[in-house]
């Protein structure tokens, strides 16, 4: 074994990167530096109490060549998936979750995909479903600690990995991209493209558009593809700075008119409209109000919108990350007359349901911010 690639280097991220580059050309079937015992050791270290160890060993597993993974593929994928799960003891290990996602995507590209292939040699139909489940699940990682929204690192890696896997499948095995999975991917990306952190919103938008406008065979089952291509023509969106709230939100808000995307875009916009950053609040609010202005004379569109809005509120009850900014958004919408047609009618179902949800949200609460937002509504 090359001493520069001893397991000790996997506890140090910078040294690991050097090791991977220096040794990347030295792996061969006749002289592999990774024995089965060593792979087992790496898998065991994925559950280390030290986060940097998890990061190093995850990235090392992701760098393995196909012949080393042969016969051990499912074991390696299962070990990496386990790293992405959040438990009370490692809730702050966002970097290891991020690196495990990167490793999973890289392994899929290394070994390739075959629907009916040998399970421990290539990614097959069952593996695709499990990997998608892991990647999509990580888009719900909103872990925060003293460093801020560290879950954003995980979400960013999940979005990139979803793009890599989906493009791989579209090229080699498009029949493995199922309609419900594709819809969930595009909707979750739309939600991330509606949220408040500029960098990650921009990344989500780029991934969304990369899947929509891919030069290869069209990604199957993209919801509302024709409408999306009209809203986001390739020539027009190429120059958009999706990290700039003034450019991103007016475009993203147009997705509210597409039923498949409305729920997730509202979920993302609620956090932006009810947030704290002035430019994000201003332009996300403008985008939302512009859409609402366009449906004021369409009772059915208004009913559909409010039904989805109430569903978002109900699903987010007591989830302060969403419910508090959602209450602030509702206050602004009511003050702007977005629901005037409903509030003018006594005991309209929308008003009755909204009041009931507000009561449920603040019941026994001592959170001053939440109470004030609810009173305003």
Q: Which pLDDT band holds residue 24 (cuts at 50, 70, 90)?
A: very low
User: Residue 23's pLDDT is what?
Assistant: 47
Give SS3 for 33.
coil
What the block records as the tokens of 318 is 């007591």
pLDDT in tens, 257-288: 999 999 999 999 999 999 999 999 999 999 99
**Residue reference for tokens 């991020």:** 98
Cβ–Cβ < 8 Å for 111, 73 = yes
Whether 122 is covered by a domain: the verdict is yes
- The mean pLDDT of 177-190, rounded to a whole number, is 98
Q: What φ, ψ does residue 148 adopt, rounded to 5°? A: 105, -145
Whether 243 is covered by a domain: the verdict is no
Asked if the model's pLDDT at residue 178 lies above 60, the reply is: yes
Cβ–Cβ < 8 Å for 244, 198 = yes
Helices (H) and strands (E) in the chain, counts: 20, 0
Whether 32 is covered by a domain: the verdict is yes
pLDDT in tens, 67-110: 889 889 999 999 999 999 999 999 999 999 999 999 999 999 99
- The mean pLDDT of 213-229, rounded to a whole number, is 95
C-alpha to C-alpha distance for 208 and 345, rounded to whole angstroms:
40
Q: If we measure between CA atoms, which residue out of 64, 158, 161 comes closest to residue 107?
A: 64
pLDDT in tens, 116-132: 998 899 999 999 999 99
User: Residue 2's pLDDT is what?
Assistant: 41
End-to-end CA distance of the chain: 66
Whether 60 is covered by a domain: the verdict is yes
User: Residue 375's pLDDT is what?
Assistant: 87
pLDDT in tens, 36-46: 777 888 999 99
What letter would DSSP give residue 287? H
Q: Which pLDDT band holds residue 7 (cuts at 50, 70, 90)?
A: low
Whether 309 is covered by a domain: the verdict is no
User: Residue 167's pLDDT is what?
Assistant: 97
Cβ–Cβ < 8 Å for 349, 306 = no
Range of 67's domain? 1-177
Q: How many domains does the chain contain in total? A: 1
pLDDT in tens, 312-368: 999 999 999 999 999 999 999 999 999 988 877 888 899 999 999 999 999 988 888
- The mean pLDDT of 121-149, rounded to a whole number, is 96
How far, in whole angstroms, is CA 178 from its chain's centroid? 18
More confident residue, 11 or 359: 359
- The mean pLDDT of 35-56, rounded to a whole number, is 89
User: Residue 34's pLDDT is what?
Assistant: 45
User: Residue 31's pLDDT is what?
Assistant: 44
Q: For the residues of 226-294, what is the DSSP string, one character each? A: HHHHHHS-HHHHTT--TTSHHHHHHHHGGGGGSHHHHHHHHHHHHHHHTSS-HHHHHHHHHHHHHHHHH
Average pLDDT taken over every residue of the chain: 90
Whether 172 is covered by a domain: the verdict is yes
Whether 311 is covered by a domain: the verdict is no
How many other CB atoms are there within 10 angstroms of residue 90's CB atom?
Answer: 17
User: Residue 106's pLDDT is what?
Assistant: 97
CATH number at 70 reads 1.25.40
How many other CB atoms are there within 10 angstroms of residue 323's CB atom?
Answer: 25
Query: What residues contact 338, with CB distance under 8 A and at least 6 apart?
Result: 289, 292, 296
What the block records as the tokens of 2 is 């090359």
Cβ–Cβ < 8 Å for 268, 193 = yes
């Amino acid at each position: 074994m090359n001493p520069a690639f001893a397991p000790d280097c996997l506890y140090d991220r910078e040294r690991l990167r050097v090791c991977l580059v220096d040794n990347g050309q030295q792996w061969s079937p006749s002289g592999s530096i990774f024995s089965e015992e060593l792979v087992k050791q790496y898998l065991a270290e994925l559950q280390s109490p030290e986060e940097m160890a998890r990061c190093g060993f995850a990235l090392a597993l992701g760098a393995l060549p196909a012949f080393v993974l042969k016969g051990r593929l499912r074991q390696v994928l299962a070990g990496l998936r386990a790293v992405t799960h959040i438990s009370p003891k490692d809730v702050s290990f966002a970097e290891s979750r991020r690196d495990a996602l990167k490793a999973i995507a890289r392994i899929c590209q290394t070994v390739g995909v075959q629907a009916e292939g040998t399970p421990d040699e290539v990614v097959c139909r069952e593996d695709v479903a499990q990997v998608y489940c892991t990647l999509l699940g990580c888009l719900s990682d909103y872990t925060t600690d003293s460093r801020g929204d560290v879950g954003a690192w995980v979400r960013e890696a999940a979005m990139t990995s979803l793009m890599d896997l989906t493009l791989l499948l579209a090229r080699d095995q498009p029949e493995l991209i199922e309609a419900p999975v594709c819809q969930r991917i595009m909707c979750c990306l739309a939600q991330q493209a509606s949220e408040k952190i500029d960098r990650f919103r921009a990344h989500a938008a780029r991934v969304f558009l990369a899947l929509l406008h891919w030069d290869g065979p069209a990604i199957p089952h993209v919801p509302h593809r024709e409408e999306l291509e009209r809203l986001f023509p390739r020539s027009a969106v190429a120059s958009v700075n999706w990290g700039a709230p003034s450019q991103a939100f007016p475009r993203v808000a147009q997705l509210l008119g597409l039923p498949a995307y409305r729920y997730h875009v509202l979920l993302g916009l609620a956090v932006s409209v009810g947030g704290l950053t002035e430019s994000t609040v201003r332009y996300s609010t403008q985008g939302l109000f512009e859409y609402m202005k366009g449906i004021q004379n369409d009772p059915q569109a208004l009913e559909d919108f409010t039904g989805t809005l109430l569903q978002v509120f109900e699903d987010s009850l007591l989830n302060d990350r969403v419910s508090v900014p959602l209450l602030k958004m509702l206050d602004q919408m009511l003050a702007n007359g977005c629901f005037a047609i409903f509030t003018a009618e006594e005991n309209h179902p929308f008003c009755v349901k909204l009041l009931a949800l507000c009561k449920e949200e603040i019941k026994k609460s001592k959170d001053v911010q939440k109470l004030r937002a609810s009173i305003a509504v």
